[in-house]
Structure 1
Amino acid sequence: MARTATSKAIERLQQQASAVRLAAEAYDNEVVRACAVAAADTIQAIADKRERDEPILELAANASDTELREARLHQAVRRGLDVYLPICREDHTGMPNLLLRSALFSAANHADEAVSEETIASQGDTSITLTGFRLTGYDKRVFAACLDHYRQMCPLSAPQEFQWIRISYWQFAKALDVEPGPNVFKAVRTSLIRLNAAHLRLRIRRRDIPLPRLIEVAFDDGHDATSGKSQVKGADMIAFRILDTMANLFGPQQWTAVSKSALHDFSGLPAWLASFYSTHAKPYPLQVSDLWRYSGVVCDLREFRRRLKTALEKLQGEDIPAAIRVAGYELQGTVITVHLKRWET
């Protein structure tokens, strides 16, 4: 993957700052020298800010594995030609905030409904447009299981290369924490097809983000495309890859380590809420109507309020892991403020 224009611009700014600072040393006039040094500091500050905003941190091609691992604790990283996603604890999956704070993986059950250039409700200064099939919470689980394979030292795939991850249906079912069986294999296959067909146009903070597809997938199984009958077995294979453009969604503070309990222990609105609030670090008031849009739930606003209270109460159970447990919530008129247990420490 070639270096981005932004990365080259940052390097030029850094070179200019060094040049101005070097030139400042040639001035005998103390005032002029101080002004030149101040100008160099300003240019360097601009470069530093742009570097912080750049989603993919560039390391030298000969950077050590230790340097790479430390950098990946914060964001996506490029070392040489290889691009890596961030790393997190084994019982968590790193996922982009943009997707979790939107109706892309909605709490509604409308799988296999095709859309074209549909605007997806999302939080903040972001824009998502989907062409393909509408996605659900189950698709989020399947997508997370695919992202998990890039946790360690496996780089994302470059478009011109053919780096595929191969996994059996049985292994995929175990990754989803479900018992393998024909119905599960069929659901996994169907979900991967939906994810493969999802074409997104993304814009974050007035900047377009290239992302041709969420995932590319191929099958080596017993599915009969002519009759539509599926004879998929647990030993049959799935091949998938996630392209290095995905790294553009994993910049500093643009991704969240989501606990496996948030991904696998719930469905519907509770599952969506668990992921959504995982991406935030403190309580804040939010319009109920905004949550309604972001969640993608198909019902009127009054019914959503009822479902929202039921879902939040379900997430308050003592058996709910502390990482996603709701400590309480305040519903005042049209505004709700949710408090998580982990925010109390």
Structure 2
Amino acid sequence: MKKLNNLLALIPEMQAKAKQRAEREPLPGAPLPKNVVQLPLWPEPVRAVPNGFLRSALFGAIRKGRRRFVKGEQLAALEGIEIRYTGERLDQGDLDVWESVLHAVRLQELGSQCRLTSYALLKLMGKTDTGKNRVTLHERITRLRANAVEVKQGRYTYIGGLIAGAAKDEDTQEWVIELDAKLRPLYAADQFTQIEWAVRHALNGQQIAQWLHGFYASHAKPFPFKVETLLKLCGSEDASPTSGRQKLRKALDAVVEASAAHGEGFSYEIRSDLVHVEKRASGPQRRHLAKLASKSRKPRG
């Protein structure tokens, strides 16, 4: 009996260690052969997005209703990023769909046909498989296919659609979706960010809050930004500075609350119209900061 009690006492510790291993190695499959173009194998609890998309108004916090159609318009973006866009304006809901497609595609060769049902896609997005959600999903995939984007991120320029092609079996609700393999350089090291999906999903329907979460997730150590700059970068269509400022503060509060609920540190303060954010850097970001610190400590010859 004593041995049994000792064994039972070890179970919580064993479960904790198993959970830590799962968090360290949550990948669902092994990389494909080296000659095959594939996205990085990020863990299941996150979604990966190119930094240029998170630091611009490409997936903006736009108003509900009829969307503005733009042709070759240069979108607001941080310095070092240039994006020109043609098509209906995209919002954070469109980004949810694109993230989910990428999440499925990462397990296979980039450019090959990815087959998944409306149910599977909606499940990846945390949504129920209803007729209304299927219609919205169809509209968003159509919008992602019908656009053209030119993005300059680092040394690379990508010109093409966010989805290369899509088809659907109306009886089985199976989608066949293809992405352009030339998207791969946008996922080079230090060029993309892993977004905590649980936090993003908790902010569902809050356009500015979701944009802010992604924007700040892409920074290991954020600089202070003007309120006006953040509103411009997120693609806000609010013409009133006072209203925009109120909405931004409300969205920041929502990010603080959602982050705290899922163990992701995030706090902010607005001083002299500058938004100061403190956040906990992700594992890759901490390693990046450590490299920078190491370089700065090296003696100059």
Q: Indicate whether the TM-score tops 0.5.
A: yes
Give the CA deviation at 1:99.
0.3
Question: Residue in 1 aligned with 2:248?
Answer: 308
Deviations 1:59-102 (A, max 9, x none): xxxxxxxxx96xx8xxxx9932x211112211011210100111
AA aligned to 1:147 is L
The residue identity in structure 1 corresponding to 2:96 is R
Q: Quick one: which of 163, 166, 171 aligns to 2:120?
A: 171
The Cα shift of 1:239 comes to 1.1
User: Are 1:250 and 2:190 counterparts?
Assistant: no
Of 244, 260, 268, which residue of structure 2 is paired with 1:329? 268
Residue segments in structure 2 that go unaligned for 5+ positions in a row: 1-28, 287-301
Give yes or no for contact 1:215–1:242 (8 Å, CA) kept in 2. Answer: yes
Please, what is the CA RMSD of the aligned residues?
A: 2.4
- The CA distance in 1 between the partners of 2:194 and 2:156, in whole Å, is 24
Query: C-alpha displacement at 1:309, in angstroms?
Result: 0.9
Work out the number of aligned pairs and report it.
250
SS at the partner of 1:314? helix
Q: What is residue 129 of structure 2 aligned with on the other side?
A: 180
* Displacement of 1:185: 0.2
Aligned equivalent of 1:286: 225
* Aligned: 1:272 with 2:226: no
SS in 2 for 1:316: helix
Code of the residue aligned with 2:226 in structure 1: it is Q
Counterpart of 1:194, as a letter, is R
Give distance in 2, aligned partners of 1:220 and 1:336: 44
Distance change (3 Å), C-alpha of 1:122 and 1:248 = same
TM-score, normalization: structure 2? 0.76
Query: Map of 1:75-154 to 2, 5 A cutoff?
Result: 79-80=34-35, 82-109=36-63, 112-152=67-107, 154=108
Aligned partner of residue 315 in structure 1, secondary structure: helix
Question: Residue 273 and residue 156 in structure 1: after superposition, are their counterparts in 2 closer, same or farther (change >3 A)?
Answer: same
The whole-number CA distance in structure 1 between the counterparts of 2:122 and 2:151 is 30
Partner of 1:25: none
- Does residue 239 (structure 1) correspond to residue 190 (structure 2)? The answer is no
**Contact 2:166–2:178 under 8 Å retained in 1:** no
Structure 1 residue aligned with 2:110: 156
Alpha-carbon offset, residue 296 of structure 1: 0.6
Tell me, yes or no, if the aligned pair for 1:123 and 1:294 is still in contact at 8 Å.
yes
CA contact (8 A) 2:105 2:114 kept: no
**Cα 1:334–1:140, aligned 2, differ >3 Å: closer, same or farther?**
same
1:108 counterpart SS class: coil
Per-residue Cα deviation, 1:175-226 (whole angstroms, up to 9, x for no partner): 1111110000000000001100120112234x4512311112333344xxxx
Gaps of 5+ in 1: 1-67, 158-162, 223-232
* SS class of match (1:240): strand
Residue 334 of structure 1, CA deviation:
2.4
Larger radius of gyration: 1
* Cα separation, 2, equivalents of 1:204 and 1:218: 26
Distance 1:141 1:331, change over 3 A: same
Cα distance change, pair 156–329 in 1 and its aligned pair in 2 (3 A): same
Paired with 2:237 and 2:262, the residues of 1 have a C-alpha distance of 28
SS in 2 for 1:280: coil
Indicate the residue corresponding to 1:52 in structure 2.
none
Whole-Å separation in 1 of the counterparts to 2:54 and 2:209: 13
Q: Are 1:339 and 2:288 matched, yes or no? A: no
State TM-score, norm by structure 1.
Answer: 0.67
Task: State the alpha-carbon separation in 2 of the partners of residues 342 and 220 from structure 1.
Answer: 40
Among candidates 148, 151, 154, match of residue 202 of structure 1: 151
